[in-house]
């Protein structure tokens, strides 16, 4: 479907600007909607109906869209995600191609860590700069309950592999759930401090395929911080900028690079940071989403496959971002959870 022309002039000097003055420079690229885990807050145990292969962008198509984003639209950071990006066959080639772009974007990946022990070195050699590994528990038994897979040891090996390969600072993403793993916040932080990893807690969001998220059941940023009280956290004086995580210093600890250790909390629901959001998202089937919670998408795959030129594709992307809403509106009575679950958007 041809993309509609802009209804009002797109400002921003060719960048990915919106009508609220934000400019997106951080591109999240989902490389697949498939995954080898089944985290309960993300997808059901039986998995989901995966995207048909022919709908998924080819490696060359992904590479072209990243090139357009970097060369024409001012994107400076590219993060690969999914689903589980490490299971995408062409991952190394896609990273290597992105690493040749000028200006060279910062390249990172968000992964569940399975297979990272083996892939960390090749990924670094391909040009990857950093990695975020998701880990919600230190208990192998609990891990299996949470993910429906017995792969806890593989994730720990993946973390160690990433650090050994120099993909630092290695960050850990943790989602806490009430009555399930919220008692582990201090132990997870201690684990991260002991290994030189940087831990960030993420508030659970209404993006599960099962639509079971409950505002009253989620573990809030405030509750997370209360449980970390024994660490005597100190507010970070370094400006947060456009980063989603608010950070605190952990007195008495340093990270792997010798900098003061930090812990982060991403309070998407209770402490929204939409006013500073600098993200644009590309799904594995080539749809631009201007927000995690957007209910509409812009089809770049259609344009690519119809033979559109780079500038036409760039324009469609600009129009998509121009329409970004001021905020996610989770607290509005009219809020609608997007049809796509997190695994098909790219978290």
Q: Segment 12-71, which members bind ligand SAM (CB under 6 A)? A: 35, 41-42
Q: Which two tokens stand for residue 4?
A: 């509609």
Query: Is the CB of 35 or the CB of 303 nearer to ligand SF4?
Result: 35
Residues 6+ apart with CB under 8 A from 307: none
Q: Out of ligand SF4, ligand SAM, none, which partner does residue 173 contact, by CB within 5 to 8 A per kind?
A: ligand SAM
**Contact letters for ligand SF4, residues 134-173 (x by CB under 6 A):** x---------------------------------------
User: Given the structure tokens 């850990």, which residue do they identify?
Assistant: 172
State the Cα–Cα distance between residues 130 and 300, nearest whole angstrom.
Answer: 27
Per CB under 6 A, 39 contacts ligand SF4:
yes
Give the H/E segment covering residue 131.
strand 130-134
Residue 3 CA: distances (Å) to CA of 250, 296, 298 = 49, 13, 7
Q: Which two tokens stand for residue 72?
A: 């024409």
Q: Out of ligand SF4, ligand SAM, none, which partner does residue 32 contact, by CB within 5 to 8 A per kind?
A: none
Q: Out of ligand SAM, ligand SF4, none, which partner does residue 38 contact, by CB within 5 to 8 A per kind?
A: ligand SF4
Q: Does 103 sit behind a cis peptide bond, omega within 30 degrees of 0 on the bond before it?
A: yes
State the Cα–Cα distance between residues 110 and 35, nearest whole angstrom.
Answer: 13
How many residues sit close enough to ligand SF4 to count as binding (CB under 6 A)? 12
Looking at 80-88, 149-157, 196-204, 319-327, which segment touches ligand SF4 (CB under 6 A)? 80-88
Task: Say how many C-beta atoms besides its own lie within 10 A of residue 216's C-beta.
Answer: 5
Q: Which two tokens stand for residue 117?
A: 């022990």
Per CB under 6 A, 283 contacts ligand SAM:
no
**Contact letters for ligand SAM, residues 126-145 (x by CB under 6 A):** --------x-----------
Per CB under 6 A, 207 contacts ligand SAM:
yes
Looking at 201-209, 219-227, 249-257, 321-329, which segment touches ligand SAM (CB under 6 A)? 201-209
State the Cα–Cα distance between residues 169 and 162, nearest whole angstrom.
Answer: 9
**Contact letters for ligand SF4, residues 85-124 (x by CB under 6 A):** ---------------------------x------------
User: Which residues on neighbouring strands pair with residue 265, listed in sequence order?
Assistant: 201, 246
User: Which residues on neighbouring strands pair with residue 173, listed in sequence order?
Assistant: 134, 200
Q: Which of 16, 29, 32, 82 lies at the binding interface for ligand SAM (CB under 6 A)? A: 82
Q: Out of ligand SF4, ligand SAM, none, which partner does residue 202 contact, by CB within 5 to 8 A per kind?
A: ligand SAM
Nearest distance in Å: CB 257, ligand SF4? 27
User: Given the structure tokens 């992307």, which residue do they identify?
Assistant: 317
Task: Say how many C-beta atoms besides its own lie within 10 A of residue 307's C-beta.
Answer: 7
Residue nearest to ligand SAM (CB): 347
- In the chain, which ranges are continuous DSSP H helix? 59-73, 91-99, 116-126, 140-147, 152-164, 185-195, 221-227, 300-306, 310-322, 342-345
> Interface residues with ligand SAM (CB under 6 A)?
35, 41-42, 81-82, 84, 110-112, 134, 173, 175, 202, 204-205, 207-208, 342-343, 347
> Interface residues with ligand SF4 (CB under 6 A)?
35, 37-39, 42-43, 82-84, 112, 134, 343
């Amino acid at each position: 479907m041809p993309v509609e022309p802009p209804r009002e002039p797109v400002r921003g000097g060719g960048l990915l600007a919106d009508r609220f003055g934000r400019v997106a420079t951080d591109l999240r690229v989902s490389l697949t909607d498939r995954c080898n885990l089944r985290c309960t807050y993300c997808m059901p145990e039986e998995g989901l109906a995966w995207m048909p292969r022919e709908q998924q962008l080819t490696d060359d198509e992904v590479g072209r869209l990243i090139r357009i984003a970097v060369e024409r639209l001012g994107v400076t950071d590219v993060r690969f995600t999914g689903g589980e990006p490490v299971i995408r066959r062409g991952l190394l080639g896609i990273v290597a191609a992105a690493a040749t772009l000028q200006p060279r974007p910062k390249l990172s990946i968000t992964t569940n860590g399975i297979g990272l022990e083996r892939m960390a070195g090749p990924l670094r050699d391909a040009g990857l700069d950093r990695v975020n590994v998701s880990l919600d528990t230190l208990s192998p038994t609990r891990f299996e309950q949470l993910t429906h897979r017995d792969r806890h040891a593989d994730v720990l090996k993946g973390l160690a592999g990433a650090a050994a390969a120099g993909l630092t600072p290695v960050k850990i993403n943790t989602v806490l759930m009430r009555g399930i793993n919220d008692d582990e916040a201090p132990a997870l932080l201690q684990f991260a401090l002991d290994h030189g990893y940087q831990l960030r807690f993420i508030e659970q969001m209404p993006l599960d395929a099962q639509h079971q998220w409950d505002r009253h059941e989620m573990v809030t940023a405030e509750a997370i911080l209360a449980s970390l009280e024994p660490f005597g956290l100190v507010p970070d004086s370094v400006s947060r900028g456009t980063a989603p995580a608010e950070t605190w210093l952990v007195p008495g600890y340093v990270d792997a690079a010798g900098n003061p250790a930090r812990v982060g909390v991403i309070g998407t629901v209770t402490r929204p940071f939409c006013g500073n959001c600098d993200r644009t998202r590309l799904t594995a089937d080539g749809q631009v989403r201007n927000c995690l919670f957007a209910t509409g998408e812009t089809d770049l795959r259609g344009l690519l496959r119809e033979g559109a030129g780079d500038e036409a594709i760039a324009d469609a992307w600009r129009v998509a971002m121009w329409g970004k809403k001021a905020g996610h509106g989770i607290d509005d009575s009219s809020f609608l959870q997007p049809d796509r679950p997190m695994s098909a958007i790219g978290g």
